[in-house]
Amino acid sequence: MSKEFSTAAVIGAGTIGLSWTALFAGHGMDVWVSDPRPDLAEAVKTALAEFGSHLAKQGFDVEGLEDRVHLAGDVAEAVRHADIVQENGPEDVEFKKDLFATLVREAPSHALLLSSSSAIPSTAFTGDLEDASRVLIGHPFNPPHIMPLVEVVPGERTSEESVTQAVEFYRFVGRVPVVERKEMPGFVGNRLQNALNREAIYLVEQGVVTPEDVDAVITNSLGLRWATVGPFLGSHLGGGPGGYRHMAEHIGKGMKQMWAGLGQPKGDADETEMLIQAVEKAYGSSTYSELSETRDRKQLAILSVLDEITTNTDKEN
């Protein structure tokens, strides 16, 4: 275990914080958790049991996982010995302003202060801080103990050293960090997701397909492809031996004409209600646990096969 990253503080133990807790403890770290929720002890226990089994399937040593996780009475206690702090509280700029003022004051001076925020850039909540050099976004995809990507997004006053350390830290816990050099609203992953979701909603709104049909289109084509190659390498291969140049100069021309006709859904309350009812009709007969367990099982299986192929390819080369 790295000496530099031996103790973590997880602030906010909801969907994301509980998953980080298991991941960090699964990498041998001591983890201090702070959340005012009255059922904190029970929530942590349940999460460690469930997520611990996922980590074991990924080959991590989960022996003594619970012994490394500690409940803190408040934020100050949680961060007292932290090498890194991962914040996962409500997505609210005022909350994050107050909290990060406390973190800067209470955490050791070497501690990295990371926020899981999906949409609020760190520059928006660090303006009042005297020193914002250690604060930056480490945005995961749900659930972070399974999904490898972490978007590392420095704010205007984040130091380059903190960016390097954040990348090292997320690699240490087995993630794949990608540094993003501008604080775009929604960062990169959610912008891409929303571009696709906007078109998916439009196609349902227009009566072209149902939500289930859209899901079948994605999981049987683009989803499979994107687990192996991203859109650029996919296009490079789609162009055949002529590569991306052939794709861009030939098929790409027709695709560009399609951009102008992409849909703009209404986004009003009636449409939202129509979508809710359509999704509930499609999936409402299964419980959240049934659906999420199936999702996690499939994602772990994909990761395991990809990992095996990468290891074998590395050995061959």
Ligand X SMILES: NC(=O)c1ccc[n+]([C@@H]2O[C@H](COP(=O)([O-])OP(=O)(O)OC[C@H]3O[C@@H](n4cnc5c(N)ncnc54)[C@H](O)[C@@H]3O)[C@@H](O)[C@H]2O)c1
Q: Which of residues 21 and 117 has its CB atom nearest to ligand X in the complex?
A: 117
Q: Which of residues 78 and 163 has its CB atom nearest to ligand X in the complex?
A: 78
Q: Name the active-site residue from 151, 156, 160, 293.
A: 151
Query: Least CB distance from residue 30 to ligand X, whole Å?
Result: 18
Q: Are 57 and 300 in contact (CB under 8 A)?
A: yes
Query: Least CB distance from residue 89 to ligand X, whole Å?
Result: 4
Q: Which of residues 37 and 298 has its CB atom nearest to ligand X in the complex?
A: 37
Q: Are 147 and 120 in contact (CB under 8 A)?
A: no
Tokens of 128: 């009042």
Residue nearest ligand X by beta-carbon distance: 14
Query: Least CB distance from residue 278 to ligand X, whole Å?
Result: 21
Choose among 22, 23, 28, 26: nearest CA to 5.
Answer: 28
Query: Least CB distance from residue 43 to ligand X, whole Å?
Result: 8
Residues in the site for ligand X, rule: CB under 6 A? 11-17, 34-37, 75, 88-91, 116-118, 139-140, 142
Task: Give the three-class secondary structure for 60.
Answer: coil
The Cα–Cα gap between 78 and 72 comes to: 5
Residues 6+ apart with CB under 8 A from 259: none
Task: Give the three-class secondary structure for 241.
Answer: helix
Task: Give the three-class secondary structure for 86.
Answer: strand
Query: Least CB distance from residue 180 to ligand X, whole Å?
Result: 14
293 is catalytic: no
CB neighbours of residue 171 within 10 Å: 13
Q: How many residues does the chain have?
A: 317
Q: Which of residues 47 and 75 has its CB atom nearest to ligand X in the complex?
A: 75
What are the backbone angles phi and psi of residue 138, rounded to the nearest 5°? -125, 85
How far is the CA of 276 from the CAs of 210, 211, 212, 270, in angstroms? 12, 10, 13, 10
Q: Which of residues 17 and 26 has its CB atom nearest to ligand X in the complex?
A: 17
Catalytic residues: 151
